[in-house]
Amino acid sequence: MIAGVFGFGGGMLLIAILPAFLSPSLIIPAHGIAQLASNSSRMLFSLNYVKWKLLPKFLIGSIVGSLLVVSVLSYIPVDYIPLAIGVYILLNLWNSTFSTAVSKYESYYLLGFLQTGLGLVVGATGPLVLAVLTKQLKCKDEIIATSSMFMSISHLAKIPVYLTVTTSLFSNMALIIYMILGAVLGSFVGTKLRLAANNGKIINAIKWLVTLLAIRMVVLAIL
């Protein structure tokens, strides 16, 4: 529901709660399945607001990013990737000089490559595209619906990873189904709340929430 209103945030709460209910080997795949249900249903409930013209570029970038990252997975130093993402988001949102300078390089091919490719090795890549969409689009529903489409693609790319624990997932299928139903219901309620909310206030809230997430990423990476 939280993600239905603001476009993200629910996944972070979910990953913090799941260890109380699931074995460690199931946390990541169960979280990914719930997130795929959340993002795809959020997109479907706001289908008229999706900026479809951005899909081909992001999809191509995502495919290339996934293939490349998987092929060099063991050689990627991931410790400082969240730091770089966090600094980029903060500068992009709050430094007009940096934002203007980097705008000409903000290709959705590259964003798809980074969000989906790096998403296979670090979890917090979704805000990358959300920061750019918040800058380029003026409608809260277009921002969240399009971001949901992008994040659905990124989560689909992780399916091969989930398949490695298929047996364990099947033994917990009832819980997985409840999580999916909960995610879809939350998307429905959150979307209804967002559509009735003030456009400017929601966009401003998204900007500040992404900022707080970026600060958290930077601090954790440094510590």
Lowest mean pLDDT, pick from 129-138, 156-165, 191-200, 208-217: 156-165
Among 12-26, 105-119, 131-145, 156-170, which range has the highest average pLDDT? 131-145
At 100 the pLDDT is 78
At 181 the pLDDT is 95
SS3 131: helix
Give per-residue burial for 12-33: e unless 16+ CB within 10 Å, then b. Answer: bebbeebeeebeeebebbbbbb
Torsion angle, CA of 106/112/118/123, rounded to 10 degrees? Answer: 100
Give residue limits of the domains in the chain.
2-222
Burial class of residue 209 (count of CB atoms within 10 Å of its CB; 0-12, 13-18, 19+): middle
Tell me: the pLDDT tens digits for 61-96?
Answer: 988 888 887 676 556 666 666 777 778 778 878 887
